[in-house]
Amino acid sequence: MTKLVVSMPGSGLLADRLAAGLCAEHAEPRTRRFPDGESYVRLDTDCENKDLIVVGSLDRPDEKFLQLIFLCDLLRELGAARVVLCAPYLAYMRQDKRFRAGEAVTSQSFARILCRAVDGLVTVDPHLHRYRNLGDLYNVPTRVGHAAGLIADWIKTEVRRPLLVGPDSESEQWVADVAARAGVPHIVLEKTRRGDRDVEVSVPEVERWRDHRPVLVDDIISTAGTMIETVRHLGAAGLSAPMCVGVHGVFADDAHGELLGAGVQGIVTTNTIAHETNGIDVSGILIEALDDLFGE
């Protein structure tokens, strides 16, 4: 089946790489907003009996979602055989239960709406917490690419004497996985709670690591609050300025500037979300995931 890659605004570079890897054509729809804020969507490329891959990350989803739904609906009207969404960053994974009476469980609502628009979904490292996998949410075929191997390769190549650091026990599994892949040591900061507002944070075996470069790794950098706090604790322990590495660089508000201002050596993210910090390319794992989905 002939494939056609269609990019949402801001995803053209990644879509080019996916199209090249899939031996597919890349088309960019024409989109704009009317003066009243409504969306206009048009695609001039033939879609008849083709497998359509819509590429677009869903950071700032409320600004993008209706346009995405309109585009997917249009592709079906134009005769697409299948419409698959490749969303390297998948939004609305945060609210995964009803914490208070009357709350919307938006992860479930979002999934129901999206599943009516697409025939499949490919993403990278979704923020699964209470869900075992995407199949608990999405009733269309899904594939997930994992960036841990790419991050480990980048650390091995770009950082001299790295020491991976987890801010707390919850991060240990993720940090340990990347460290094992890179063949480098890792630690998790130790927290001792003395009271409701009295928490002491220490670096275990700090003298052992003074000649290493700390590397903070997280799946999502949103407010960057956890990373900034960790940078402060590492500095207080006398360690060198750390590198910060994230899979998804959401960077809410001025998080990027605030993290730079905390005294880090640098910030690197994957290109799941287009940003100036992008230094790790996920197109290869997305191509593998798409090939696997279409081959089922």
Averaged over successive runs of 10 residues, the pLDDT of the chain (296 residues) comes to 95 97 97 95 96 97 96 97 98 87 92 97 90 90 97 97 89 90 93 56 86 94 91 92 96 95 97 97 98 89
Cβ(39)–Cβ(65) under 8 Å? no
| Residues pairing with 249 in the sheet | 221
Q: DSSP letter at 80? A: -
Q: Give Cα 150 distance to the centre of its chain.
A: 13
User: What is the rounded CA–CA span in Å between residue 5 and residue 15?
Assistant: 7
Q: Give Cα 178 distance to the centre of its chain.
A: 16
**pLDDT at residue 245, as a whole number:** 96
User: What length does the chain have?
Assistant: 296
Within a 10 A sphere around the Cβ of 41, how many other Cβ atoms?
18
**pLDDT at residue 198, as a whole number:** 52
| Residues pairing with 84 in the sheet | 53, 120
Closest C-alpha among 93, 112, 13 to residue 55: 13
Angle at alpha carbon of residue 185, lines to 184 and 186, rounded to 5°: 125
Q: Please name the amino acid found at residue 193.
A: R
Q: Give Cα 113 distance to the centre of its chain.
A: 21
User: What is the rounded CA–CA span in Å between residue 238 and residue 47?
Assistant: 59
**pLDDT at residue 280, as a whole number:** 98
CB-based burial of residue 146 (10 Å sphere; 0-12 exposed, 13-18 middle, 19+ buried)?
middle
User: What is the rounded CA–CA span in Å between residue 26 and residue 180?
Assistant: 37
**pLDDT at residue 195, as a whole number:** 57
